[in-house]
Amino acid sequence: MTPTHPIDAHVRLDVHPTHSSAVTATLTGTQARIAHMGLEAADWTVVADNVLALVRIDSEEPYWAQDAAKHLTAEGITVEITPRLREAMDEEWTWANYPMPWCTRSEIREVSNEAQKIHDDIRHGQLLIHAHAHDGQTTVAVGTYLHRTGKSVYLHGEDHLRQVADTFDSPAQALLAFEKVHGAEMCPGPAPLTDTERSAAEARTPLALTAAEPEPDPPEPETVPVYLADAGDHDAVLDGFLNAHGEFERWRTWSDETTHAIHESQTLRIERVHETQAREIAWTVAAYETPVSDRMWVLTATGATPTPVLQELLNHLADGDGWDTAIGAPVDEKTVTAATQPLSDAGWKHTVDGRWIRWTSPAGDAGVRFDAFTAQHPSQNLATWTIWAGPDPDRPTWAITASPHTPSSLLSDLSETLAHETGLRRPQTAGTGRRTSIVTSPPAIPAVAAGPATSRSR
């Protein structure tokens, strides 16, 4: 219905210039203040003169921008939506590996909107966080609402999955219950910002508006040691491998999320999970003595593994019986030496620390780690080898893990690649997309035992 008295205000909605899913609103007209007040009330942030931004932690900005456009139009305000934002509004998408698969798309949006409200309450100082901890899977916290119900709450999860898992009548009750469950890991105050929260905070900073200028050509990629190279296109690597090796049969799951490549012998299987984050497992390779036997060995690689490393892995697997190994043979000093000789020859630092034997690059930014303890339990297919690059092997940028009986010839080829090959690295660009998996496993919400309290969990 058209309002009786149109308002002299124009709102132009567009995608944020530096944040992948955020939306900007540029206001003009003598009555632009009316639109300004309405958007601020809906938690849009002023980022420049007559410019506001909608920034959320659930990547739902296009949806809520469309909702804002409907309300503004109903008030008699002219709204223009740019074609690229309209495309984002019309796009159908969902979170990969969402931990609540029973939810419909609208229900997923409701869950994330509740998480957004918690985030905003913390950001605006309406929810005071007393302490936080990590429960082994995700971040948990305890806090008290200052201006709403006055209730204290137990929070579980991060970003768009954070929920109120329990409520308490007082901060003392909440803290006692929290300490009882998480005392060993308990830290005062709120948890450090997640990558998503940090990115959202950056998108709310003042925006320097300049006249439209052609974007400069991207800098040329630089040649770096292979372990520092960009991940590249993993799907293209797999496609090239399968096109060149007809002995592998390809099939893709009905959900289109995973591709399996199975050797004609049925004793080597490759699983490629598409749409994974950098540190999530994107590849799993498993070898079997017979098509119906248990695994001889298993190897995994994360989403940011450089493509030259993956190509070396696949090339080795394509080399006849390159995946065969003697399942009963012990992992001895000879095996370890054969697997890592290229690193020793290249001058990588060799250290022994208890159960760990390590080979580290001269700059300390990559390495291979052997776990002598897990090597004694070969039947469990535990991660005995870790090939990594990044800050340290426990917080890698990318990693490959392998079980005890992974062929030493395969590990040697990978070591040779690490020690001598190079790759290309391009400068980071803004926006990383939002169609990727955020979590790797469903968050288990524990019960927090306490005195009288009102429990609420989703």
Q: pLDDT at position 95, please?
A: 82
> Residue 442 — pLDDT band, cuts 50, 70, 90?
very low
Contacts of 92 (CB under 8 A, 6+ apart): 105
For residue range 110-135, list pLDDT tens digits in order.
999 999 999 999 998 899 999 999 99
Judged against a pLDDT cut of 80, whether residue 188 lies above it is answered with yes
Instruction: Of 39-43, 227-231, 383-387, 431-435, give the lowest mean pLDDT range.
Output: 431-435
Q: pLDDT at position 293, please?
A: 85
Judged against a pLDDT cut of 90, whether residue 325 lies above it is answered with no
Judged against a pLDDT cut of 90, whether residue 447 lies above it is answered with no
For residue range 156-170, list pLDDT tens digits in order.
999 999 999 999 999
CB 367 within 8 A of CB 358: yes
Judged against a pLDDT cut of 60, whether residue 446 lies above it is answered with no
Rounded percentage of the chain residues whose pLDDT exceeds 70: 86
Q: pLDDT at position 212, please?
A: 45
Length of the chain in terms of residues written: 458
Instruction: Of 110-114, 238-242, 435-439, give the lowest mean pLDDT range.
Output: 435-439
Judged against a pLDDT cut of 90, whether residue 438 lies above it is answered with no
Q: What average pLDDT score do residues 332-341 get?
A: 91
Name the residue with higher pLDDT: 445 or 367. 367
Token code pair at residue 397: 């940028």
Q: What average pLDDT score do residues 350-370 get?
A: 94
CB 141 within 8 A of CB 132: yes
Contacts of 239 (CB under 8 A, 6+ apart): none
Contacts of 351 (CB under 8 A, 6+ apart): 357, 358, 360
